[in-house]
Amino acid sequence: MPFSDYKTALVTGASSGIGAAVVERLCSEGLQVHALARNAKSLAALSERTGCIAHTLDVTDLAGITRLTQQVPFDVLVNNAGVDRPKSFLHADAEDIDLLVDVNLRAVLHLCRLVVPGMVARDRGHVVNISSIAGAYNFGGNSTYHATKAAVSMLSRQLRIDAFGKRVRVTEICPGRVATDIFAHVHGDSADTYERFVKGFELPQAADIANAIAFAIAAPVAVNIGHIEITPTLQVPGGLQTTRPAAAQA
């Protein structure tokens, strides 16, 4: 469906990184883009640069997102907001679990609940869910994050079943490591964080993810691009580890 068939978009987690890049790309395509995030200063700068409509709002504020979605019939919904608290599940904190479930999953469920029925009624719409390779592959220290992203992956498939027969498309974007400031948000904004996760690596940029989303949205209406996995060429997910019992090692 050409971009000209869509008028409005809502992007969460829009103040930086992938979210800001998506806002910029969708604005360049002529959509009225509503950018939602908590950082008012960054949103104001983004609005001045792109012309987007800024909403300083926590994605977990159910009353707030309900009011917004009742005011605007969104043709495109990009669920990008996400958090992580890397930690073995053996040492998981209740607060971390609640935060990840609230932001990574509950907010996505509610936004889809609030927006998708209108898309179905209008026979027009596109949902883009930013999940992660963590929804499909296991790596240590991110148990709750894996669980929430796997749920978003299944939701993305289920939405197409629930909207079957209508021109409502659903795309799941599964990034690997991307050169954004998410690592600073998760691990602390320090030289060590930059050294560990960004410096010296050949990584996709936020604009690369935004371009992939634009590609999916711009496809003909008869085409639903359901799943895009985007990783660095020099990153391979998965693997196999084997160890001896502790007694045998001793």
How many Cβ atoms sit within 10 Å of the Cβ of residue 36? 30
* Phi and psi, residue 92, nearest 5°: -70, 145
Q: Which of 65, 76, 55 is nearest to 103 (CA)?
A: 65
- Give the tokens for residue 135: 């929804």
Max Cα–Cα distance, the chain, nearest Å: 67
AA identity, residue 50: T
Residue 239 is predicted with a pLDDT of 78
What is the phi-psi region of residue 239: left when phi exceeds 0, alpha when psi lies from -120 to 50, beta otherwise?
left
With a CB cutoff of 8 Å and minimum separation 6, the contacts of 239 are: 139
Residue 200 is predicted with a pLDDT of 85
Q: How many domains is the chain built from? A: 1
Whole-angstrom CA distances from 67 to 44, 61, 70, 74 are 21, 10, 5, 13
pLDDT digits (tens, 9 = 90+) for 123-165: 999 999 999 999 999 888 889 999 999 999 999 999 999 999 9
Catalytic residues: 145
Residue 186 is predicted with a pLDDT of 59
Residue 183 is predicted with a pLDDT of 62
Residue 37 is predicted with a pLDDT of 98
Below-50 pLDDT ranges, the chain: none
Residue 249 is predicted with a pLDDT of 58
**d(Cα 111, Cα 15) in Å, to the nearest integer?**
18
CB distance 79 to 116 below 8 Å: no
Residue 100 is predicted with a pLDDT of 97
Residue 242 is predicted with a pLDDT of 81
With a CB cutoff of 8 Å and minimum separation 6, the contacts of 79 are: 12, 107, 108, 111, 112, 127, 128, 129, 130, 152
* Phi and psi, residue 13, nearest 5°: 60, 45
Residue 184 is predicted with a pLDDT of 55
Residue 182 is predicted with a pLDDT of 67
Domain carrying residue 153: 3-249
Q: How far is CA 112 from the centre of its chain?
A: 13
The CATH number that applies at residue 178 is: 3.40.50.720
